[in-house]
Structure 1
C-alpha cells in the first residue's frame, strides 16, 4: 500500500516531504516506538492519537485515520535505522523535535520511566539527528505536562 511512499523516502537523497507525508512518516515512527517492546495496547494507540491531534491540529477522526495509516506504513517500513535516517533526511529539524516530544509523552504517560524506553528514545533521537540536549529538554517539557 505504501510501497511508492517508502521507495521515495529511502532514496539516497530524498526530497523534503510535504506536510501530509511528513505527518504520516512521523506518526509511523510513533507507532514503531510504541511497538518496540512487543506490546501495543489500546492506551498507546489512544495516546498516539492525542499526540497527533495536538501536534497537527486535527480532529479525532483525522487522528484515528492517520494512526491507522501509520500502523500500516510502520509494518511495511524497513528497519528502524534506515527508516529513521530516511525521516531525518526528509523532515525539517523542528518537526523531528516535535516527534521526540510526542515520543516522550507516550513514554511518560504511565508516570514511570523504563530503562528500555530510555534506550529506545536515545537511539531514535540520535538517528533523527536530534541532540541529546534537545531530547532532554523535550523530555522535561513533556514531564511537566504529564504531571
Structure 2
C-alpha cells in the first residue's frame, strides 16, 4: 500500500528512485528537517551522513550515497507522516526510538530549534507510533549528546 502511495506522488521524471525502506524513510526525514529552515548547511549534511553510517553500518562513501538518494526521495515524496508510518510498520521500538533521536540531532545541529523542524519531528514521532514522552526524552538525549561534543577551535 505504501509503495502505491509513493508511486502516486512520485513525479514521472524520477524513475531511478528506489522504493523507500525504513533507512531511506529516516534519511529523507533527516534531509527534510535539515532543509526546512531553507539553510541546508554542510554541518547538517555531514551529521546526516554520520547518523546513517552509525545506524546502518555504512562507510563514509556509502552513507553519502544513501543521503543523496534520500535528498531526491525527500524532494519527490509525500507528507512526513508517510515516512513515519513506513518506519513504524517496518522496524521495532528500539529502531524507532533511535530514529527519533537522530531526528532531534539534526534539529539541534545548529543550536537553534526552528518551528518547522519541530513540527516535522512531532509529525514523524506521532506517525512512528511514539509518545510525547518518547519525544521529550529523545530531545533530551540529543541535547545531552550535543552538550558533550567538543567545541571546534577556530583558526587563531
Question: Do both share a fold (TM > 0.5)?
Answer: yes
Aligned-partner Cα distance in 2 for 1:111–1:83: 25
Q: Is 2:33–2:106's contact at 8 Å kept on the other side of the alignment?
A: no
Corresponding residue pairs, total: 134
Aligned-partner Cα distance in 2 for 1:139–1:94: 16
Residue 90 of structure 2 is aligned to residue 86 of structure 1: no
**Quick one: which of 3, 8, 17 aligns to 1:7?**
3
Relative to the length of structure 1, the TM-score reads: 0.77
Provide runs of 4+ in structure 1 moved above 6 Å.
none
Pairs within 5 Å for 1:11-30: 21-30=21-30
Aligned-partner Cα distance in 2 for 1:138–1:82: 21
Residue 131 of structure 2 is aligned to residue 131 of structure 1: yes
Which residue matches 1:63?
Answer: 63
Q: For residue 10 of structure 1, report the CA deviation from its aligned partner.
A: 5.4
Aligned-partner Cα distance in 2 for 1:116–1:28: 15
Q: Alpha carbon RMSD of aligned pairs, Å?
A: 2.4
Q: Is 2:85–2:128's contact at 8 Å kept on the other side of the alignment?
A: yes
Distance 1:76 1:91, change over 3 A: farther
2:110 counterpart SS class: coil
